[in-house]
Amino acid sequence: MGLSPTPPQLQYFEERAAAPVTLIGQGMEGAVYDLGDGLAGKIWFERSVSEVRPLQAFLGELSQQGLPFRTPEIVVVDDIGGRAVSIEKKLTGTPLQQALENGAVSRQQGTELFVDIVTALETTTAGPAAAALPLLGGVEPAAGEWGMRLAELVRQRALGSSEYLTKDVDGFDELLGKVLAGLAAVQPDKPQIVHGDLCTPNILVGDRQVALLDWGFFTTAGDNTFDAATAAGFFDMYGPEARVIDDLLFDRFEGLGHSRERMHLYRAAYAICTATIYSPTGADGHYTWCVENLKREDLRAAL
């Protein structure tokens, strides 16, 4: 029996690599390979070249923000065998999730790092490349201000998951109406860069450096409080102390000037938007997490 042929995307990387091509990891949007010489290659599962180039433009815009942590930089985008591939500067370090599990970083240090990253993003000013990014794998929210754009995204995503959310969340239709009305009334002073997926696997830690990865899933021009609201819940989504850490970070962010009511509004918006993003029938842990958030008494009382 002969060996399986090498996919054309890997051949493309091998022709440009300074060392044997090895898999670094695989996520929702693609597989990433080490190409040596400080470069990494990514094979995108769904995004076309026309969808990756806006991300490349955004990352260039992001690099001008003077943030205290490293961010990706795409240097090449190409179409190989009908799939988008990209080459970017490799960011090194240990995923924060792994560093927490092996004790290299304490829980307190990890939560402080979350606060530091959200606070740093608050200093950013989003440009046109951030606003142009498609959200959640291609959904194009309506043009306009942040609150109206997010409300339209929630409305679109609710259409695909209401069959399940109306069954599992009491009074979902009323809740949805309150979320849409609340978002439409939000008017931030200036558009900031929202990462939208601040979780422990997306942060790399090293001896003296931190890097923030995986921009583009929910990245846009918006309100920094959205990152505060979601990051608080993402630090520990499923562990036995998840709610304790969530409440702790909510308190920290409120103490730094983020409105608790708006954080609850954004948490509800995120839960509705992503409830069925991984499983269209809601048959996964993320859907359960979203449902539990939409049932929270403090969240319902804040809307």
Q: What is the 3-state secondary structure (H, E, C) of the chain?
A: CCCCCCCHHHHHHHHHCCCCCEEEEECCCEEEEEEECCEEEEEECCCCHHHHHHHHHHHHHHHHHCCCCECCCEEEEEEECCEEEEEEECCCCEEHHHHHHCCCCCHHHHHHHHHHHHHHHCCCCCCHHHHCCCECCCECCCCCCHHHHHHHHHHHHHHHHHHHHHHHCCCHHHHHHHHHHHHHCCCCCCCEEECCCCCHHHEEECCCCEEECCCCCCCEEECHHHHHHHHHHHCCCCCCCHHHHHHHHHHHHHHCCCCHHHHHHHHHHHHHHHCCCCCCCCCCHHHHHHHHHHHCHHHHHHC
User: Residues, the chain, total?
Assistant: 303
Please tell me which residue, 82 or 140, carries the higher pLDDT value.
Answer: 82
Residue 6 has pLDDT above 80, yes or no: no
pLDDT of res. 217: 87
Task: Kindly state the tokens that stand for 299.
Answer: 């969240």
Between CA 81 and CA 10 the distance in angstroms is 11
In percent, the amount of the chain with pLDDT more than 90 equals 84
Residue 67: pLDDT over 90: yes
Backbone phi and psi for residue 101, each to the nearest 5 degrees, phi listed first: -70, -35
The pLDDT confidence band at residue 2, using thresholds 50, 70 and 90, is: very low
Query: What is the reported pLDDT for 3?
Result: 44
**Is 300's pLDDT higher than 90?**
yes
Proportion of the chain above pLDDT 70, given as a percent:
96
pLDDT of residue 38: 94
Q: How many CB atoms lie within 10 A of CB 43?
A: 21
| 49: its two tokens | 């070249």
pLDDT in tens, 107-142: 999 999 999 999 999 999 999 999 888 888 667 766
User: Residue 216 has what pLDDT?
Assistant: 86
pLDDT at 1 over 50: no
pTM reported for the whole predicted model: 0.93
Does pLDDT of 146 surpass 60?
yes
Please state the rounded mean pLDDT for residues 229-248: 97
Q: What is the pLDDT of residue 27?
A: 76
Mean of the per-residue pLDDT values of the chain: 93
Q: What is the pLDDT of residues 18-49, one digit of tens each?
A: 999 999 888 778 899 999 999 999 999 988 89
- On the question of pLDDT at 187 being above 90, the answer is no
**What pLDDT, on a 0 to 100 scale, did the predictor assign at position 135?**
82
What is the predicted pLDDT for the residue at 291?
98
Using pLDDT thresholds of 50, 70 and 90, give the confidence band for residue 144.
confident
Give per-residue pLDDT as tens, 247-272: 999 999 999 999 999 999 999 999 99
